[in-house]
Amino acid sequence: MHRYRTHTCGALRESDIGAEARLSGWCHRIRDHGGVLFIDLRDHYGITQCVVDPDSPAFRDAEKLRSEWVVRVDGKVRRRPDGTDNKDLATGTVEMFVTEIEVLGASAELPVQVFGDQPFPEETRLKYRFLDLRRETLHNNIMKRVAIIDYLRGAMKGQGFNEFQTPILTASSPEGARDFLVPSRLHPGKFYALPQAPQQYKQLLMMAGFDRYFQIAPCFRDEDPRADRLPGEFYQLDLEMSFVTQDDVFAAVEPVVGGVFREFGDGKHVTPSPWPRIPYADAMRKYGSDKPDLRNPIEMQDVSEHFRGSNFKVFARMLEDEKNRVWAVPAPKGGSRAFCDRMNSWAQGEGQPGLGYIFWREGAGAGPIANNIGPERVEAIRTQLGLAEGDAAFFVAGDPEKFVKFAGSARTRVGTELNLVDENRYELAWIVDFPMFEWNEDEKKVDFSHNPFSMPQGGLDALNGQDPLTIKAFQYDIACNGFEIASGGIRNHRPEAMVKAFEIAGYGEDTVVERFGGMYRAFQYGAPPHGGMAAGVDRIIMLLVGAQNLREVALFPMNQQALDLLMSAPSDVTPKQLRDLHLRLNLPEQG
């Protein structure tokens, strides 16, 4: 017999009844039923109920056991008594009568209980992550992660993509976030950077003629953490293709990303191909977000004309400035003063002066705005928005560039409060036609708005002859249920166009050569048209398991302060290590 087990804790079935067996695992739960001990023994594969009665030679050893002790048990498999089957377990029709127990590893008092789903402070869970990972929900999340990544790999290879591993130590690159820097011992005063993304390398692979690349790529960004972004590192499904248009990339990606939601989405509706393509400007105007949650049916509309010259002076005066607008957020079935007042209070909690509204009842509009603008304008607004008795509309006014984020939040809040969001759907869409450049108000200059390596629509001619702030790029995102889950573009593969694009953003050709020399040189030697994208693996998994935080789908995440509480990182280093790296610390003064 094997030293530790003949079966796993999820393997025994009725066909094994009468057989001698050996199991090893953790004491998941121990119950005393009138002197008979029941031990639920757990391993990675499942749980088996083990029974020890006072007549068993193992009874004295069993009495000493506590939760999460690791034990080996020997015994005979038998059928459970009538009426005690457990349909939730694969082993639920059998149990093991124990004749021998060996303690393989005792456990100290547990800081995190493994049995059950009781909450524990996040700091405790992260410090004792090895215990947290034994808990059923998190353990299952991680195994679903494994299956999802296997699926993604298979789907990419099935489309002729080859998996390549790109370097982890590389050069610093302006990807939009801070780099993690690694000092070089052999080259004093110089630093490597951990890659924010394999952007340049995957483009170089296209220069090298490999045609279709993908990688489950680790990426590193020294940025502030959020619930939908892990601090430090994350993983993405990175891909690149040669001789493709934007449509070709879409055709390759939709079966993979749509397929993973169909495969692991527990039967929820998944947007069929082809997915909607929503221009960036339309997404911001209708939804107040470039990653709209399309499960929410609300679409905002511009209702400025109904307030221009009206007696509602606050909006009328704003509209004297051409850049200002009034947007409406329709609220089907939200036509009660109580709901409208609740939304107004919410807006004030968001730092706004309030949220104007009209609600319709008894054949007419009601509320302060309705009283000021009169019944004809109220009816015109209702007709434009397609609203009816019992509905409401909320209004935001000013410069759309300044209020658009709040308007999007109001749309989300209305949809959630009125239960308009269908939770049983994965709504996917492409967001396209992103602006190539944006105005950086802090530095008073034109800057890249998205990926600096993307091809401008109109190519070099647009860069030479068009207002930079009107140039659109071949850049695109995938939005799903209010999250950006992927981003990419068709690349700017012409060296003269690349230099011109960087010049517009304030970088000279010498800067391009210095910072992107490898790729710039490659463009001189026959660069194919190419494009691709990267999908956030962690974020996709978070959506598929229904988690609210990425730390619920990662093995050993950091906390919100970017601290690894399990490994105590970041940590101090010795003076000798600093001398080897030719570094001296200049720490901030302790306040």
- Domain(s) labelled CATH 3.30.1360.30 in the chain stretch across 296-421
Q: Cα separations (Å) of 417 from 299, 355, 410, 411, 420?
A: 16, 15, 10, 10, 8
Which residues are CB-neighbours of 429 under 8 A, at least 6 positions away?
Answer: 271, 275, 276, 277, 278, 292, 294, 478, 479, 480
Nearest by Cα to 299 from 322, 271, 332: 332
Give the model's pLDDT for residue 519. Answer: 87
Q: Say if CB 268 and CB 427 are below 8 A apart.
A: no
Give the model's pLDDT for residue 227. Answer: 61
Q: What is the pTM of this model?
A: 0.93
Tokens linked to 278: 């929503």
The sign of the torsion formed by the CA atoms of 473, 477, 483, 486 equals negative
Output the tens digit of pLDDT for each of the chain's 591 residues: 899 999 999 999 999 999 999 999 999 999 999 889 999 999 999 999 999 999 999 999 999 999 999 999 999 999 999 999 999 999 999 999 999 999 999 999 999 999 998 999 999 999 999 999 999 999 999 999 999 999 999 999 999 999 999 999 998 875 567 899 999 999 999 999 999 999 999 999 999 999 999 999 999 999 876 666 788 899 999 999 999 999 999 999 999 999 999 999 999 999 999 999 999 999 999 999 999 999 999 999 999 999 999 999 999 999 999 999 999 999 999 999 999 999 999 999 999 999 999 999 988 899 999 999 999 999 999 999 999 999 999 999 999 999 999 999 999 999 999 999 999 999 999 999 999 999 988 888 999 988 889 999 999 999 999 999 999 999 999 999 999 999 999 999 999 999 999 999 998 888 888 888 888 899 999 999 999 999 999 999 999 999 989 999 999 999 989 999 999 999 999 999 999 999 999 999 876
Q: What confidence tens digit (pLDDT) does each residue in 381-436 have?
A: 999 999 999 999 999 999 999 999 999 999 999 999 999 999 999 999 999 999 99
Q: Cα separations (Å) of 141 from 115, 268, 533?
A: 16, 18, 25
Of 3.40.50.2020, 2.40.50.140, 2.60.120.10, 2.60.40.3120, the CATH number of 14-105 is 2.40.50.140
Q: Say if CB 267 and CB 350 are below 8 A apart.
A: no
Give the model's pLDDT for residue 228. Answer: 67
Round to whole Å and give the CA distance between 248 and 203: 17
Which residues is 32 bridged to in the sheet?
A: 37
- Domain(s) labelled CATH 2.40.50.140 in the chain stretch across 14-105
Given the structure tokens 């008894």, which residue do they identify?
362
DSSP 82-96: TT---TTSTTTTEEE
Give the model's pLDDT for residue 32. Answer: 94
Give the model's pLDDT for residue 362. Answer: 83
Identity of residue 386: G
CATH superfamily of 296-421: GAD-like domain (3.30.1360.30)
Q: Say if CB 507 and CB 465 are below 8 A apart.
A: no
Secondary structure element (H or E) that encloses residue 523, with its range? helix 517-523
Tokens linked to 579: 């001398």
Round to whole Å and give the CA distance between 547 and 399: 36
Q: Using only C-alpha atoms, what is the Rg of the chain?
A: 30
DSSP 91-123: TTTEEEEEEEEEEEE-----SS--SS-----HH
Give the model's pLDDT for residue 192. Answer: 96
Tokens linked to 493: 């593969």
Identity of residue 420: L
Whether residue 274 has a cis bond before it, omega within 30° of 0: yes
Q: Which one-letter DSSP state was computed for residue 74?
A: E
